[in-house]
Amino acid sequence: MRKNIVAGNWKMNNDLPATEALILDLLKQEQTSNAEVMIAPTTVSLFQAFNATKNSNIEVIAQNMHYAESGAYTGEISASMLKSVGVKTVILGHSERRAYFNETDELLAKKVDAALKNNMRIIFCFGEELTDRKAGNQEKIVGSQIKNALFHLEAAAFKHIVLAYEPVWAIGTGETASPKQAQDMHQFIRQTLNTKYGNQVADDMTILYGGSVKPANAKEIFGKPDVDGGLIGGAALKSQDFYAIINAF
Ligand code: 13P
């Protein structure tokens, strides 16, 4: 079933005290929409964040994970480790992971498989760079990112996947895709799913938009028929802004 979701990706912001303080602030906000709410604090704070949100409807999710179950991968974290601290959802394929940590479609396919094997839900991110958009190649790039990392899966796997279209040129830049640009791409993504997996998978897929979403533009973006929510960076670090976005539905 398609859902409305607003997820805050905190990236490498907020140490443990700041995480606890922001969660306390978030818990004071009022939610007037029926969107599912998620926050992705840094890995070292996940356990405390999970405990601090236990009696709320905020789900604590992870920003990344490794594909292996365990072993000699210094500095990495496995799906079962995340699950052991209460995390059931993981963001994979964020453009910052792709750009700064060389995460390829091939590697992401392995991470996707590992997350699914561990019964985790995935928020799978992708999006074109400015040069791609300027050359009119955005659909080609996005289509191949989706196909390369996800199209080896069976249709049933898509029940555990949320897609997040994040054009790289709109992340942290203050420049948002226009509601029409977001809608056009989300429609293309749904069509791409439809062609391979049929109507049901395409219709049921929750597709988030990410890239400079703010209280001022959330309503218009979320108002588009194929935009089911947002993956929020900067504005997720301010409790009132985050809830204004959540309540924009
Ligand atoms: P901003 O909202 O800061 O542009 O970040 C978007 C993002 O990358 C969320 O994952």
- Checking if the pLDDT of 195 tops 90, the result is yes
pTM beyond 0.95, yes or no? yes
Question: Of all protein residues, whose CA lies closest to atom 2 belonging to ligand 1?
Answer: 233
Q: Average pLDDT, whole number, for the chain?
A: 97
Q: Who's near 120: CB < 8 A, 6+ residues apart?
A: 79, 82, 83, 87, 88, 89, 90, 160
pLDDT per residue as tens digits for the range 105-146: 999 999 999 999 999 999 999 999 999 999 999 999 999 999
pLDDT per residue as tens digits for the range 50-98: 999 999 999 999 999 999 999 999 999 999 999 999 999 999 999 999 9
User: How far lies 38's CA from each of 103, 138, 182, 231, in Å?
Assistant: 24, 28, 21, 9
DSSP assignment of 181-211: HHHHHHHHHHHHHHHHH-HHHHHH--EEEES
- Checking if the pLDDT of 171 tops 90, the result is no
Q: Which of 149, 143, 147 is nearest to 97 (CA)?
A: 149
Please confirm, yes or no, whether 160 is among the known catalytic residues.
no
Question: Of all protein residues, whose CA lies closest to atom 1 belonging to ligand 1?
Answer: 233
- Mean per-residue pLDDT, 231-244: 98
Taking the centre of ligand 1 as the mean of its atom positions, its distance from the CA of residue 163, in whole angstroms, is 14
Q: Distance between CA atoms of 169 and 178, rounded to whole angstroms?
A: 12
Looking at residue 106, its pLDDT comes to 98
Tokens 């924009």 found at: 248
- Checking if the pLDDT of 173 tops 90, the result is no
- Mean per-residue pLDDT, 230-245: 98
> Ligand 1: which of 89, 171, 176 to mutate, most ligand atoms within 8 Å of CB?
171
Q: Which of 61, 31, 53 is nearest to 244 (CA)?
A: 31
- Checking if the pLDDT of 176 tops 90, the result is no
Please confirm, yes or no, whether 94 is among the known catalytic residues.
yes
